[in-house]
Amino acid sequence: MAKKPSDDQEQDGGKIGGKIATRADDYPQWYQDVIREAELAEPAKVVKGCMVIKPHGYAIWEKIQRDLDARFKATGHRNAYFPVLIPQSFITKEAEHVEGFAPELAVVTHAGGEQLEEPYVVRPTSETIIGYYFGKWISSYRDLPLLVNQWANVMRWEKRTRMFLRTTEFLWQEGHTAHASHEDAKDEVERMLNVYGDFAEQVMAMPVIRGIKTDSEKFAGALTSMCIEAMMQDGKALQAGTSHDLGQNFGRAFDVKFQTEGGGLDYVWQTSWGVSTRLVGGLIMTHSDDAGLVLPPRLAPIHAVIVPIYRKEEEHAAVMEAAERIKAALSEIDISPPRSRYRDFVEVVIDDRPLRPGAKFYEWERRGVPVRIELGPKDLAKGQVCVKMRVDSAAGSGKEFIPEADFIAGFRARLDTFQSELLRLARARMHARMVTIDTWDEFLAAFSGEQSTFAWCHWDGTRETEAAIKEKTKATIRCIPLPGQGPDPEPGTCVFSGKPSRQRVLIAKAY
Amino acid sequence: MAKKPSDDQEQDGGKIGGKIATRADDYPQWYQDVIREAELAEPAKVVKGCMVIKPHGYAIWEKIQRDLDARFKATGHRNAYFPVLIPQSFITKEAEHVEGFAPELAVVTHAGGEQLEEPYVVRPTSETIIGYYFGKWISSYRDLPLLVNQWANVMRWEKRTRMFLRTTEFLWQEGHTAHASHEDAKDEVERMLNVYGDFAEQVMAMPVIRGIKTDSEKFAGALTSMCIEAMMQDGKALQAGTSHDLGQNFGRAFDVKFQTEGGGLDYVWQTSWGVSTRLVGGLIMTHSDDAGLVLPPRLAPIHAVIVPIYRKEEEHAAVMEAAERIKAALSEIDISPPRSRYRDFVEVVIDDRPLRPGAKFYEWERRGVPVRIELGPKDLAKGQVCVKMRVDSAAGSGKEFIPEADFIAGFRARLDTFQSELLRLARARMHARMVTIDTWDEFLAAFSGEQSTFAWCHWDGTRETEAAIKEKTKATIRCIPLPGQGPDPEPGTCVFSGKPSRQRVLIAKAY
């Protein structure tokens, strides 16, 4: 495999219309090429480690946002907004938190033409400042649970960046909740993890493993972190969402006390949970192929493209008339989830540019449009359309010729089938690649060079072993699986140390 | 009138459940009291000039966002996202722009533990950085028009702040477009001004005057700025939205050239336009009264509250059952605008807390819920509900007793009527207060002390007169009205200088 710089800032955004590397030849280059060719984003370059999210990429993020937002509201959360600047002293109030975030902070030292008495940091996450206001808002058990969420930009000054997966500024949501008991908080942590897991599978068609982070991988300031981990096509893991049990750590740091139902006084139990524009990176690496982007219909900004095909100018009008008729009929189809808070209609583009059909096919494939409709005089004569799906299912592959009315009547079902098919394919890929590894030699072979996979291994539970595995192979413990998410717990011996282990954990290299 | 500090940072957020000052006694205090009691927001205090937008306030902003967003998309715009940090040198590239914004910048000088070679500013607006990327994306007339919008936070280090109306950080949208001709750009500027004007009137029920800013009031870097101006209940004006013709100023500053259809080379013609969380302040000051917040149904997070009324515990179950039945029936009512991209159902709260009904009425009035339903055993026996609207219309005032089925069947129409009624009342207030002033003595009287009104006056068109009027009265020229938005143009003599004038302009004190 060719080695290319994987840091965005070393890459030029490049001109659109270039080649897409194959996954087999150069996976990191393929990823950047897909993003460029689908016009999802480009490295900002003039702002270190940032990216510009272009309209096609942002439209996917908007669809992610509105579906997640509806799920947060259905579970009782309300959105709010807290300042982007946080007094620097706030960050230092929770010992583990400052240790985790201090090296990555961007600091505002001057404002309004003057040096500030106390600098502000641009929020890397908002536990501290939200903790502060929780302290002002909560005084009794009657104020609990307090369930808020914020959609915002955050900044972490990362050294190596990669579009969507790790950028200095990124967009995300951060849920912050306060509860009267640890039990309630733990329930919330698991509830939101499942919201993420369900969203990943139902909407992104991205299978995930739900689990618990080890102590060395947990959020800086949490008691426990739960996560969803997805497998990318190179076998690496992507931490796609996290949900944290903060215990009383921030409650203590910001003195958030409440009168209990029993008349005592206690610190609140808090949680936080978040997903970010990183999900777009996960989406790309889950479904896309060497021809470019592949999108599940529930997140596709455009569902179908109609390419009129004609040789003679006198055929043009009739073909365009049919194209407009089909577009109008498809655009009427409501594809919203039942009783959802948003309404989705089928989005159709007619591509009548003066280009060869082949060039158009190529371009719309790269942009990940699920359904392509070719329409020529012969099809019109037969009352049919020629349909090509962006990814062939095992059942029907290649072009289909379908009567126009049947095609329209079946369009919603066609999208649903395509959505399920992408999930099935992604699941199949993940499971085909999952392995159970019991010996260190096998382990080294599985993770040699740039290779990765999802390996279920016994681990002795120590930080030392975890660090040694990481140092020797770059693979990390992604999570301790929740019940049903991995092999059933059974005792064994650690793949590295040979010491006793209670259950297998998921190990992989990670983004 | 009592004089209170109007700067947020001098005010404590205060405990909820306090008094609301009357508008007549102390208008600035009334404004802050309404925001506190409706739990819309609070001054951040620990972050200078910022506010925390609380869930009830943020829910209003979300409804503003989604309706505007649909209007932007319907006019061909797509959302994108650009970095929050802008290289400091970018700001200096357009001469007027830097002069306007330099004093208000917040500057990031350190990041990742190191001093930066070139500081970044936190975006005060994004013409510069978006101009830079437009330069990379545009090369031919075929790339035009380029129509993007960004929903984002921005920061301007203001000295005196007031929640929603002027805060150092605020949320907004900024549209940025590039066109092949000045005509196209000017059309866009007017199109988006009308999107804002229509939204203000149809959704916020806030009447506005559409006009053109004078040169001294225009956006720093624009050729011309258009605006919508709304009258607050103290007679002051609120600039509620602006739409700018940037000419080729930023095109030149960032070298955004394109090949014209004729084969030449030209700089693009750009526009920008924005509205912000300031709209929430305008909404409050347009409709609210001494009892607290008043919300138009199209922006109300909660449409109806049901207050169960009962004396004896054995009546409770029957009343609650009826309350739940009514809530379920109302919640089924789809109140979305036709073929909209979002779906709105009636939101109902049953307030069964162990409090006196009067205390509940008082609280829900303060929070601006449009419809209150009182429900007791007598109502149940008669199959009726007792309804009280948040603001009495001239026609029906006080409580209405309506058969339950009729109430539910007529609920959507009731909301529509309430929405129109609020617009009618606001229009009536504005028109009742508008004056035509022709003498300087009359002018001084109209703007003495804290007083303000919307005054249509002749102006000689000079900067000197504009500055003198402002200096002597604090009133400013809000806009030169577009056709039909003010008195028909007719020549006259300037209210201040007595020199010739071509038409009357709108003068008021402003937020």
Average pLDDT estimate for B245-269: 97
Contact B58 A46 (CB under 8 A): no
B105 touches chain A (CB under 8 A): yes
**C-alpha distances in angstroms, B398 versus A310, B144, B389, B394, B466?**
69, 56, 8, 10, 47
- Is residue B110 less than 8 Å (CB to CB) from chain A? yes
Q: pLDDT band at B2, cuts 50/70/90?
A: very low
**Cβ of A122 and B58 within 8 Å?**
no
Start-end of CATH 3.30.110.30 domains in chain B: 434-508
Give the orientation angle of helix A278-287 with respect to helix A55-74, to 10 degrees: 110
The closest of A11, A49, A23, A39 to A364, measured between CA atoms, is A39
Q: Is the pLDDT of residue A26 over 90?
A: yes
Residue B428 confidence (pLDDT): 97
| B197/chain A closest Cα distance in angstroms | 25
Task: Select the more confidently predicted residue: B3 or B199.
Answer: B199
Q: d(Cα B388, Cα A14) in Å, to the nearest integer?
A: 63
pLDDT for B358-399, tens place per residue? Answer: 999 999 999 999 999 999 999 999 999 999 999 975 555 689
Q: Among residues of chain B, what percentage have pLDDT more than 90?
A: 91
Stretch A181-188: mean pLDDT, rounded?
98
- Give pLDDT, residue A248: 97
CA distance B62 to A26: 43
- Count helices and strands (H / E) in chain A: 15, 25
Q: Which residue has the tokens 């940032």?
A: A50
- Say if residue A269's pLDDT is above 80: yes
Residue A157 near chain B (CB below 8 Å): yes
**Angle formed by the axes of helices B278-287 and B411-433, to 10°?**
90
Name every chain B residue with its beta carbon within 8 A of the beta carbon of A13.
Answer: 136
- pLDDT (tens digit, 9 = 90+) per residue, A152-179? 999 999 999 999 999 999 999 999 999 9
On the CB side of A350, CA atoms within 13 Å amount to 17
CATH number of A59-287: 3.30.930.10
> Residue A106 and residue B105: Cβ atoms within 8 Å?
no
Instruction: Tell whether A55 lies on the interface with B, counting CB pairs under 8 A.
Output: yes
Nearest C-alpha of chain A: how many angstroms from B138? 12
> Is B354 touching A (CB cutoff 8 A)?
no
Query: How many residues make up chain B in this entry?
Result: 511
A14-28, A56-70, B463-477: segment of lowest average pLDDT: A14-28
Match 């640890």 to its residue by tokens.
A182
**Residue A44 touches chain B, beta carbons under 8 Å:** yes
Distance between CA atoms of A249 and A272, rounded to whole angstroms? 12
Is the pLDDT score of A486 beyond 60? yes
Is pLDDT above 90 for A13?
Answer: no
Q: Is the pLDDT of residue B97 over 90?
A: no
Confirm or reject contact between B409 and chain A (CB < 8 A): no
Angle at A479 between CA A473 and CA A484, to 5 degrees: 130
The residues of chain B that CATH labels 3.30.930.10 are 51-287
User: Is domain B297-429 given the CATH code 3.90.110.10 in the classification?
Assistant: no
Which of A221-225, A310-314, A438-442 is the least confident region?
A: A310-314
Question: How much is the mean pLDDT over chain A?
Answer: 95
What distance in Å separates the CA atoms of residue A478 and residue A463, rounded to the nearest whole number? Answer: 14
A6-15, A146-155, A219-228: least confident range:
A6-15
Encode pLDDT of A378-414 as tens digits.
999 999 999 999 997 555 568 999 999 999 999 999 9
For residue B243, pLDDT over 60 is answered with: yes
How distant is the Cα of B112 from the closest Cα of chain A, in angstroms? 5
Measured between CA atoms, how close is A44 to chain B, in angstroms? Answer: 8
Q: Do B80 and A55 touch (CB under 8 A)?
A: yes
Q: Which residue of A has its CA nearest to B169?
A: A83
- Check if B362 contacts A (Cβ < 8 Å): no
* Full strand arrangement of the beta sheet holding B455-458: B78-79, B146-155, B169-179, B269-276, B237-247, B224-231, B209-212, B476-481, B504-508, B455-458, B435-436
The pLDDT confidence band at residue B1, using thresholds 50, 70 and 90, is very low
Q: CATH 3.30.930.10 spans which residues of chain A?
A: 59-287
Quote the pLDDT of residue B9: 61
Q: Is A444 on the interface with B (CB under 8 A)?
A: no
**pLDDT higher than 70, residue B301:** yes
Look at residue A398 in the predicted model and tell me its pLDDT: 87
CB atoms within 10 A of CB A469: 23
Contacts of residue B55 in chain A, CB cutoff 8 Å?
Answer: 78-80, 148
Range(s) of chain A covered by CATH 3.40.50.800: 297-429
More confident residue, B391 or B10: B391
- If pLDDT is split at 50, 70 and 90, which confidence band does B182 have? very high
The interface predicted TM-score (ipTM) is 0.96
How many Å apart are CA A406 and CA B4, to the nearest integer? 70
| A331: contact with B, CB 8 A cutoff | no
User: Which of the four pLDDT bands, split at 50, 70 and 90, describes residue B10?
Assistant: low
- Chain A interface includes B155 (CB < 8 A): yes
Least CA distance to A89: which residue of chain B? B46
- Name the residue type at position A436: T
Q: How many CB pairs under 8 A join A and B?
A: 161
* Nearest CA distance, B222 vs chain A (angstrom): 23
Q: Is the pLDDT of residue A5 over 80?
A: no
- Mean pLDDT across chain B, nearest whole number? 95
Answer whether A130 touches B (CB < 8 Å): no
Q: Kindly state the average pLDDT of the residues A65-92.
A: 96
Question: Quick one: what percent of chain B has pLDDT higher than 70?
Answer: 96
Put simply, whether A349 touches B (Cβ < 8 Å) is no
pLDDT at A273 over 90: yes
A108/B107 Cβ within 8 A: yes
Q: What is B51-287's CATH topology?
A: BirA Bifunctional Protein; domain 2 (3.30.930)
Q: Under a CB-based contact definition with an 8 Å cutoff, are residues B97 and B135 in contact?
A: no
Bridge-based pairing state of the strands A371-375 and A384-389: antiparallel
Q: Please answer yes or no on whether B132 and A50 come within 8 Å at the CB atom.
A: no
Q: Which residues pair with A173 in a beta bridge?
A: A151, A275
In this structure, chain A runs to a length of 511
Task: Give the confidence band of A437 by pLDDT, cuts at 50, 70, 90.
Answer: very high
pLDDT in the model for residue B8: 64
Residue B93 predicted with pLDDT over 70:
yes
pLDDT(B13) > 60:
no
Given A111, A112, A341, which is nearest B342 (Cβ)? A341
How many Cα atoms are found within 13 Å in the side-chain-facing hemisphere of A475? 29
Contacting A residues, span 70-99, partner chain B, CB-CB under 8 Å = 78-87, 90
Q: 3.30.110.30, 3.40.50.150, 3.30.70.20, 3.40.50.300: which CATH number matches A434-508? A: 3.30.110.30
Residues B202-224: pLDDT tens digits? 999 999 999 999 999 999 999 99
Please check whether residue B291 touches A, CB under 8 A: no
Average pLDDT value for residue range B432-460: 97
